[in-house]
Structure 1
Amino acid sequence: MKSLLTTLKGHPTLKAETTYSILFTIGFCHLLNDMIQSVIPAMYPIFRESFGFTFAQIGLITLVFQITSSIFQPFVGLYADRHPQPYSLSLGMCLSLAGLVALSFTSAYGAILATVALIGGGSSVFHPEASRVAQLASGGRKSLAQSIFQVGGNGGAAIGPLLAALIVLPYGQHAVGWFAGAALLAAVLLLRVGNWYSLMLTGTNTPLRNRTITPCTLPRTKIRHAMWILVVMIFSKYFYTSCMTSYFTFFLIDRFGVTVQQSQLCLFAYLAAFATGTLLGGFLGDRYGRKYVILFSIFGAAPFALALPYLNLFWTITMSILVGLIIASAFSAILVYATDLMPDKVGMISGIFFGLMFGLGGIGSAFFGWLADHTSIEFIFRASSYLPLLGIIALLLPDIRPAAGPGLQSTEHTIH
């Protein structure tokens, strides 16, 4: 079977090195995608005021969106592993585009459910295949590549609510259509990514997806145990961060009496640190090993998380920045570690973990909201601060060291 080197010689535009242009493009498209997702929660006050929807009806909208944007991802990823579709990235964004345009005009409840399903479906198509592209373009620096991709999503999640507040709330439902421009831009950019991906798949007579993949040498029992540990890590991280992102502003207002604007600035400080930590985790994971980044990023955040609910305003903000900086580095390391365990199932594994990220984040937000109603905002911050302690079980993960460098050998392991 021909080597990847033969493919690269036949196509001088394809390189074994890290392809940063593709990584930054896919990361920017991730930013646009996650920014678009924020439009749906921003519409809830408008739905309630304009159409008189009950909280149960709004909850069903959230459920449909969560199902289509998270539960479908593993199935999309599994299909992509068997039948890679380079242009499905652009197609997924076109689904979101169609959903946004329809959402800006429709008023019937059933039609609104259909539009949010389209937007969620577009996200389900985008994430698994985009993760495959990120690893393919990594040149062996898989944690760094995943972090560049992930930091785009974190950026979109951070600026999305702000843009929605500036555009959707003042101008109403029709203003949702303005976000269609972002979806259209992403769809066009992803056509270029699809062209590059297609070349990588068909660079020789032997498609890259059919090439030999270096399997993980661990016994299946250890692989299963490691996967369950990673799921616990995802639970710990996203249950805690859902409390921070959803209720940190309320905590600051309730405990210190700050204004809404001041609390929003503090939340943005946390989110900015979170985005920075995501990128930092990529560098550290490739250099020192994914296991140790997972351990440090979750268990290492525990002392700061535990101290946060008991400090004055200055130190509370400082602790939140440190928590965001440390704990954010976990997801990229977790995802790449999982794909190292099952290198022939990159799409499926990416779909599972992105689905868990969205699903557990939504469940965590709802759970802590319910708990706050029955106790207090301060109580949920004290209770959630123990979650990062679960990171200690990362010590039970097998020690899978990254490849020695970003050369051709590492690249071969990323092609499926």
Structure 2
Amino acid sequence: MATIIVVGAGLGGMSAAYELKAELGQQHEVILINNKPDFEFTPSNPWIAVEWRQRKETSIPIEPYVRKKSIRFIASGLESLNAAQQQLELADGQKLNYDFLVLCTGPELAFDEITGAGPDAGGTSSVCTLTHAEHCRDNVNKLINEPGHVIVGAMPGASCFGPAYEYAFILDKHLRDKKVRKSVPMTFITSEPYIGHLGLNGVGDSKGMLESELRQRDISWICNAKTLGIIDGKMEIDELDEDGNVKRHHSLPYQHAMMLPAFRGIAPLRSIEGLVNPRGFVLVDDHQRNPKYPQIYAAGVCIAIPPLSKTPVPTGVPKTGYMIESMVRAITHNIKAELMGQQPTCKATWNAICLADMGDTGAAFVAMPQIPPRNVAWFKKGKWVHLAKIGFEKYFLHKMQIGDTEPMYERFMLKYLGIDKLE
């Protein structure tokens, strides 16, 4: 019997645990480890921040559901990893050995790289976690009672830009519903070289469409924005030109700010030579396997993907849901092959599919492959995207409860997008 440990129970980790158990059966043990007892549907966090959702609607306890599939669950964080000895230690003191390790840890949020940023420092809010979104909700309620300037956006090194746009549009709708939008100037601050870059060099007409949406909502913007810090109640920003020189300095006072941070790999992995890059992201080959430690596979936000191109302010590459799902399926088939004495052959299909809510409408984009040049570069908007995202939230949470291992993007999202096949 082999022991396969999955670390992290987000989209990638939960799917990996279910799929590995379904493929490998009872003759092999699958253990799922997470630093909290609940699965949280992260895409719903902007809704949490404006009280369109509550915690109980977007999260579920992990253990009761995975136990039904004979998956052992441990609610404890990763403390250290001895990759050479194939052993890990948890925060609760447990030491576990593995035959294969699947890292789906997600990122560490690097708020500390910007002075005063993040919920702990008190300078900015976040929707990166459910707890952060609840803190943001409290800040939004304060804003409604004491209107003032709002800043939304992404800091240097950020790679996940979609939620910043979502939050800006959702907050705009919420403030209009509360009849206070006229008293709340809004500015979108982003490290992207242009609106709609998204860390992907744009997708279709994402630039024109998102600029238009910001204009229609009276949201101004600053691109190539290097956020320096939060000082004396103001956000200090250098706006750079195309050569990386300071074009203009902005010192913006604000009442509420939601800024997405840069990501880095989690602390227990960052010092393991050969496993991670200098930012702590896990190095993987075409089969999602680490070259130095071939018993270790990785998927999702924790893996290393180099930026598509150099930008005046650093930007990263997003890892979207379909891409993560494809990585997990490749890992499952490759581990099964290894247990049968064969070499890994499966590769992930790195396509990007995203549904972004805009409050009462929405935008969808498809990049196939994610890294250009592309066979498909498609970007559209409409009320149907808003409704599709609501449906996808319910579908995904149900999938996590019943342990459904079928590809959710191909089965659910593609019928809305009208694309026959992803390849």
Return the TM-score normalized by structure 2: 0.26
Kindly indicate whether structure 1 or structure 2 has the higher relative contact order, using CA contacts under 8 Å at least 6 residues apart: 1
Q: Which has the higher helix share?
A: 1
Q: Which has the higher strand share?
A: 2
Return the TM-score normalized by structure 1: 0.26
